[in-house]
């Protein structure tokens, strides 16, 4: 899992570099309006994103070998990021040469989308929906919340351990393992969907694209290779209901309104046509497993991934 590798790295970084600083604290989150206690400062979030991203890209097939698609995805991501509540983060949008169906954001504004997910889409509004959703996880500081909880839990364990002279190391190790399962909650997913719709609409996209993405993920979940996205971003019916409800109320004026684009033709000519001409993805866990099961090909796929 992408997230398991990353979150373990985060805690190690936080502890090793002492990133929980005096600048962090309780404040109202501009995107969600909620009061949050975040022990990681913005500087710490940026540092974690920067220090994790290269390894993450390397382990996920590397960047897609097509400059035009990369630039196109970056431009759309930047259009959305300008509209969010944290526009000054060092936003970066990377397409991974991986067949898995996933998208992910690191704290500090590093967003990733897989080739496998792009291939399932058919318009730009859907892409804006996914990127907007990932931006939403960053603006709502969902990962920061998890790290804060883990740090508090670790601190409490240390304090109790020191007071009673117990060996607290195993308990800390347990805490690390716990945050390795970074899976966003239903509420966090719904919050990110809502924020994603906010940003995509501000950028001039039809927010119905967000609903289409849910349909794509649902259809793919019934296929032979269920999206990895769903193991880290749960998709209960409540998420779909909420998006439908917002389309019918908050965003009613955007429907059948030519000011809110889907740009299917541009997406097809720049993304789908070019993807179809590229060599197979470098990171392809399904083929990797098949190759490992077949002794004649053993080892031929070993270099590309860690799944």
Which stretches of the chain bind Zn ion, using CB under 5 A?
184, 189, 192, 233
**Smallest separation, CB 229 to Zn ion (Å):** 8
**Smallest separation, CB 233 to Zn ion (Å):** 3
Q: Considering the complex, state which of residue 3 and residue 99 has its C-beta at the smaller distance from Zn ion.
A: 3
Q: Looking at beta carbons, which residue is closest to Zn ion? A: 233
**Smallest separation, CB 133 to Zn ion (Å):** 6
Q: Considering the complex, state which of residue 94 and residue 192 has its C-beta at the smaller distance from Zn ion.
A: 192
**Smallest separation, CB 126 to Zn ion (Å):** 15
Q: Considering the complex, state which of residue 198 and residue 282 has its C-beta at the smaller distance from Zn ion.
A: 198
**Smallest separation, CB 226 to Zn ion (Å):** 16
Q: Considering the complex, state which of residue 112 and residue 184 has its C-beta at the smaller distance from Zn ion.
A: 184
Q: Considering the complex, state which of residue 233 and residue 282 has its C-beta at the smaller distance from Zn ion.
A: 233
**Smallest separation, CB 295 to Zn ion (Å):** 39
Q: Considering the complex, state which of residue 6 and residue 19 has its C-beta at the smaller distance from Zn ion.
A: 6
Task: Classify residue 268 by burial, with Cβ atoms within 10 Å: 0-12, 13-18, 19+.
Answer: middle
């Amino acid at each position: 899992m992408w997230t398991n590798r990353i979150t373990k790295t985060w805690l190690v970084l936080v502890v090793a570099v002492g990133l929980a600083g005096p600048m962090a604290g309780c404040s109202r989150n501009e995107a969600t309006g909620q009061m949050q206690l975040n022990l990681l400062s913005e500087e710490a979030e940026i540092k974690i994103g920067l220090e994790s991203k290269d390894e993450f890209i390397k382990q996920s097939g590397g960047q897609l070998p097509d400059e035009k698609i990369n630039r196109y995805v970056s431009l759309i991501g930047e259009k959305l990021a300008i509209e969010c509540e944290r526009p000054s983060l060092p936003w970066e949008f990377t397409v991974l040469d991986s067949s898995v169906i996933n998208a992910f954001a690191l704290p500090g504004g590093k967003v990733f989308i897989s080739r496998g997910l792009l291939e399932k889409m058919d318009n730009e509004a859907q892409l804006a929906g996914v990127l907007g959703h990932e931006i939403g996880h960053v603006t709502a500081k969902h990962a920061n919340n998890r790290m804060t909880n883990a740090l508090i839990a670790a601190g409490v364990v240390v304090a109790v351990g020191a007071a009673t002279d117990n060996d607290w190391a195993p308990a800390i190790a347990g805490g690390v393992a716990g945050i390795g399962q970074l899976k966003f909650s239903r509420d966090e997913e719904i919050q990110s969907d809502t924020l994603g719709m906010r940003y995509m609409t501000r950028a001039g996209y039809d927010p119905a694209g967000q609903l289409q993405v849910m349909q794509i993920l649902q259809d793919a979940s019934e296929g032979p290779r269920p999206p990895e996205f769903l193991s880290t971003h749960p998709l209960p019916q409540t998420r779909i209901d909420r998006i439908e409800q917002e389309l019918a109320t908050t965003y009613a004026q955007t429907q059948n309104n030519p000011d809110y684009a889907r740009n299917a033709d541009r997406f097809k000519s720049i993304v789908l046509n070019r993807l179809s001409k590229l060599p197979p993805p470098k990171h392809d866990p399904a083929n990797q497993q098949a190759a490992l099961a077949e002794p004649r090909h053993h080892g031929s796929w070993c270099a590309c991934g860690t799944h």
